[in-house]
Structure 1
Amino acid sequence: MSLWKKMTVKPDLTKTLNADHQLARTLNTRDLIALGIGAVIGTGIFILPGTVAATTSGPAVMVSFVLAAIVCSLAAMCYAEFASTLPVAGSAYAFGNVVFGQVFGWIIGWALILEYMLAVAAVSTSFAAYFASFVAGFGWQMPASIAGSFDPAGGHYVNLLAVLVVALIGWLLHRGLQSSMAINRIMVVVKIVIILLFIGVGLFYVQPANWRPFSPFGTKGIVAGASLVFFAYLGFDAVSASAPEVIDPQKNLPRGIIGTLIIATILYVLVAIVLTGMVSYTKLNVADPVAFALNLVHQRWIGGVISIGALAGMFTMMVTMIYSSSRLVYAIGRDGLLPRWFGQVNHQLPQNALWTVTVIIALMGGFVPLTQLVNLVNIGTLVAFAFVSIGIIPLRRHETLENKGFKVPGYPVVPILSFVFCLALMSQLSLETWVMSGMWFAFGLIIYFAYGFRHASQDLK
């Protein structure tokens, strides 16, 4: 067998579909939507509608959100079909492994490891900063030595709050999905109630004159705004990582993925409508547009409540992403591309993968400055989106796989359009992002050829 054939070898489908039988199926549609909303709706909902309106789209930012949601829904439908056809752990990694072959599955998995872990580590530091600011209002100040990433010259040694919140989430997930999902659902409800509170109060201060001119930057501004807010929807793909732990995945996974996108779009658009109606878009280029608007209408008391919503938003995002990244590492270890220790299941949970992921993320959030690395989250996501989108074509042509659940409408136009949009968005990322991601993928290929290639091939055909 040639080197290329060995690199593109595909897994035995029977083994793949039965590989996760040790995991408990406990998740329903409600849990999946809570996971999805937990990942998608974060602090961005209180910031992006204002800053994008001020700098790019004007009040037409609400149209930008709808346009971005339409584009995102193309990839979401592709994920939904894959998840319905292949309800296995690993999300896009497993999908790529089956339709493209081993090395492509590894590249997608390596991209997702980058996305999930960096995203959580970055959000953990934001959570710590937000929490420290919140408690400072009650007169409690965090010591500088435990309030920042490792920088002895600046008096910082560890971001203790970032480490603790990641460890707490790891512990909750370790206790089992039922208890951790119950807490996640509560936090998601708190977050949505606070968003609805802002919308409800803000409606009384809307002045239609603030919506004129509706599109001061023209169609170009609306499209540019859509490309910016597109990234606000990222996270719904993490739902598919839960496939082997879902009750009736053919029905519930598509509902969870598409339901997440619909609810997120409604909330983003409503916040954009109310915010740009309360205050002229020209004044919204500030760090916290929602708090700024509330101060202008003398409703500062809601600002503290909004802070609780922001903390809840970041917490649920970390729950979803730590959960998803642990299932991803478990799936890669299960297939032998990483040490099989990661693929072991204890008490119906991949505990080894979960604690490894938790420790790595906690160390990154606690000690490593991540400012320059956050853009890598976007490229990791788009790489996975692109493969999943175009992968629908070989999936439909697969001789063995049969899908009795959700199928992408408008095949093959919709998958191709989704693929093209992903490439277009990737082309807008900075050269620095491409260089750093190139280094990450090069490192990943070294690991693949040094370990994964030799250890996984023997179990594939």
Structure 2
Amino acid sequence: MKLNLLRKESIDRYLATDKGFIKSLGAKDLLAMGIGAVIGTGIFILPGTVAATTAGPGVTLSFLVAAIVCGLCSMCYAELSSSIPVAGSAYSYGNLLFGEIIGWILGWALILEYMLSVAAVSSGWAAYFNALLNSIGLSIPHALTNAFNPYEGTYFNLMAAVSVLLIALLLSRGLKESMKINNIAVILKIIIIFIFVGVGLFFIKPANYHPFLPFGTNGIFHGATTVFFAFLGFDCVSASAAEVKNPKRNMPIGIIGTLLIAAVLYMAVSIILTGMIHFNKLNVANPVAFALRQVNQGWLADLLSLGALVGMTTMMISMTYSSSRLVYSIGRDGLLPKSLGKIDENGLPKNALWLVTLIIVLMGGFFSLDELTHLVSIGTLLAFAFVSFGVLLLRRRKDLPKPSFRVPFYPVLPIISGLACVGMMCFLPINTFIFAAIWFGLGLIIYLGYGYHHSKINVRE
């Protein structure tokens, strides 16, 4: 049998299959989901460490450059999602625009991004929570405080697993209820950031901004490649398209709005932080808390611990949600077992949700993920590049709905966006490409051995 790896999916089948979802999300929900995914503990760490090691006070400009690059990608996502309001994000776009093999590769990359991100953050959540327990005189057995490492006497990260299970239970109760809690948590997180900015204003010393570019202009761009990854996660908004009310209006607002708000918050924290403390003192584990204690504002440093926990929780909600919709989409197409592509009577893909939860619990509970975090970046950038170039194909297709949002200065901006993502990938270490080759090799084996032969496209051919 001759393989047709570039066969394309049908938009009509996607729209018909996704009708089982309940359309309950508005623009505010999408903004909260996006901000919940993008603004995590990194806002309390990256501005300081990148300032100290790479960009100096010019880290603010690094965030601006990174935001511009991500902004180009976000506009491409906005155009595709307003034209193709289906679950699956870049995976589904790849199937429709490039062909099934490209869609599978993007889906396989995003599975890694979403699940690995939640697993890594669950470990951080557990560390903060265990510290909070210790502060009130409580503790859990040492053997259950970290990943499997018999030399250190640890065998399972219990609180990492518990945090993921609680998130899954919340999401299984229904999207509307989950988004209410997520929206409240995001507001709380933003309030804490505003409190830091407001208090920090009174402790700025203009002399700390000199020299503004101690590492030269190269420091700005080198810093941008580092902080670029702080913006990753906004793409999870596009995974919700099938559950959005009026997606042609709300999807562009949710995606582009997320980037604008995140950029303002990151830059605000950077300006205040480097004004409070000279940049060469900020290469510490938690530079924002360090700066606050240096100016005798320990109460706010303690409040930041709450902000960190809330930030990690909202990120886990957004990314677990996106993971389940992605796995549902692949099951919907037959590339994974069809049971994963089922939607229950409450409009939820619970089979996909609980499979995702099990995998994340095992990853976060048993494995140390430090070596694998760069894989999140390469998978995301690959998806960003294909989405950017996908705009070029979308404009040529007459069988797809017209988008309500169009990337300006077409085709220049989509091409620049795609090339910028490819350029960012070049800054990743060689080990990342080795791990990626293994991961994608495994993915191709699964696709050629199972997915291709069980694809729903076979039914139509």
Corresponding residue for residue 20 of structure 1 = 18
1:161-212 deviation per Cα after TM superposition (whole angstroms, max 9, x unaligned): 0000000000000000111101101110111111111111111101111111
Amino acid at match of 2:422: L
Corresponding residue for residue 164 of structure 2 = 166
Corresponding residue for residue 394 of structure 1 = 393
Kept after mapping to 2: 8 A contact 1:10/1:460: no
Q: CA RMSD of the aligned region, Å?
A: 1.0
Kept after mapping to 1: 8 A contact 2:44/2:288: yes
Corresponding residue for residue 102 of structure 2 = 104
Corresponding residue for residue 345 of structure 1 = 343
- Deviation of 1:152 after TM superposition, in Å, equals 2.8
Corresponding residue for residue 137 of structure 1 = 135
| 1:307 aligned residue (302, 305, 308) | 305
1:358-377 matched pairs, under 5 angstroms: 358-377=357-376
Amino acid at match of 1:292: F
Kept after mapping to 1: 8 A contact 2:84/2:401: no
1:48-447 matched pairs, under 5 angstroms: 48-346=46-344, 347-447=346-446
Kept after mapping to 2: 8 A contact 1:12/1:460: no
- Deviation of 1:303 after TM superposition, in Å, equals 1.2
- Deviation of 1:363 after TM superposition, in Å, equals 1.2
Kept after mapping to 1: 8 A contact 2:80/2:403: no
Amino acid at match of 2:31: I
Greater CA drift, 403-412 or 138-147: 138-147
Looking at structure 1, the residues matched to 12 and 435 of structure 2 have their Cα atoms a distance apart, in angstroms, of 38
- Deviation of 1:369 after TM superposition, in Å, equals 1.6
Amino acid at match of 1:289: P
Looking at structure 2, the residues matched to 13 and 234 of structure 1 have their Cα atoms a distance apart, in angstroms, of 27
1:344-366 deviation per Cα after TM superposition (whole angstroms, max 9, x unaligned): 01121101001110111011111
Amino acid at match of 1:355: W
Looking at structure 2, the residues matched to 328 and 53 of structure 1 have their Cα atoms a distance apart, in angstroms, of 36
1:311-354 deviation per Cα after TM superposition (whole angstroms, max 9, x unaligned): 00000000000000000000000000111100001121101001
Amino acid at match of 1:109: G
Amino acid at match of 1:433: T
Looking at structure 1, the residues matched to 398 and 248 of structure 2 have their Cα atoms a distance apart, in angstroms, of 19
Amino acid at match of 1:212: H
Corresponding residue for residue 458 of structure 1 = 458
- Deviation of 1:370 after TM superposition, in Å, equals 1.1
Amino acid at match of 1:189: I
Kept after mapping to 2: 8 A contact 1:114/1:377: yes
Q: Secondary structure at the match of 1:139?
A: coil
Amino acid at match of 1:196: F
Looking at structure 2, the residues matched to 259 and 234 of structure 1 have their Cα atoms a distance apart, in angstroms, of 14
Kept after mapping to 2: 8 A contact 1:390/1:415: yes
Looking at structure 2, the residues matched to 358 and 187 of structure 1 have their Cα atoms a distance apart, in angstroms, of 21
Gapped regions of structure 1 (runs ≥ 5)? none
Scaled by the length of structure 1, the TM-score of the pair is 0.98
Looking at structure 2, the residues matched to 102 and 376 of structure 1 have their Cα atoms a distance apart, in angstroms, of 22
Amino acid at match of 1:333: G
Looking at structure 1, the residues matched to 216 and 152 of structure 2 have their Cα atoms a distance apart, in angstroms, of 46
Amino acid at match of 1:365: G
- Deviation of 1:228 after TM superposition, in Å, equals 0.7
- Deviation of 1:459 after TM superposition, in Å, equals 3.4
Looking at structure 2, the residues matched to 42 and 143 of structure 1 have their Cα atoms a distance apart, in angstroms, of 28
Amino acid at match of 1:397: R
Q: Secondary structure at the match of 2:85?
A: coil
Kept after mapping to 2: 8 A contact 1:236/1:257: yes
Looking at structure 2, the residues matched to 251 and 395 of structure 1 have their Cα atoms a distance apart, in angstroms, of 18
1:75-134 deviation per Cα after TM superposition (whole angstroms, max 9, x unaligned): 000000010010000000000000001000000000000100001000000110111112
Kept after mapping to 2: 8 A contact 1:92/1:109: yes
Looking at structure 1, the residues matched to 181 and 71 of structure 2 have their Cα atoms a distance apart, in angstroms, of 28
Greater CA drift, 121-130 or 395-404: 395-404
Amino acid at match of 1:459: V
Kept after mapping to 2: 8 A contact 1:53/1:284: yes
Equivalent pairs: percent with the same residue?
A: 56
Gapped regions of structure 2 (runs ≥ 5)? none
- Deviation of 1:18 after TM superposition, in Å, equals 2.0
Looking at structure 2, the residues matched to 59 and 97 of structure 1 have their Cα atoms a distance apart, in angstroms, of 43
Kept after mapping to 1: 8 A contact 2:11/2:84: no
Looking at structure 1, the residues matched to 403 and 70 of structure 2 have their Cα atoms a distance apart, in angstroms, of 24
Moved over 4 A (4+): none
Kept after mapping to 2: 8 A contact 1:11/1:460: no
Amino acid at match of 2:270: A
Kept after mapping to 1: 8 A contact 2:62/2:224: yes
Looking at structure 2, the residues matched to 70 and 201 of structure 1 have their Cα atoms a distance apart, in angstroms, of 28
Amino acid at match of 1:85: S
Corresponding residue for residue 34 of structure 1 = 32
1:230-251 deviation per Cα after TM superposition (whole angstroms, max 9, x unaligned): 1000000000000000000011
Kept after mapping to 2: 8 A contact 1:97/1:105: yes
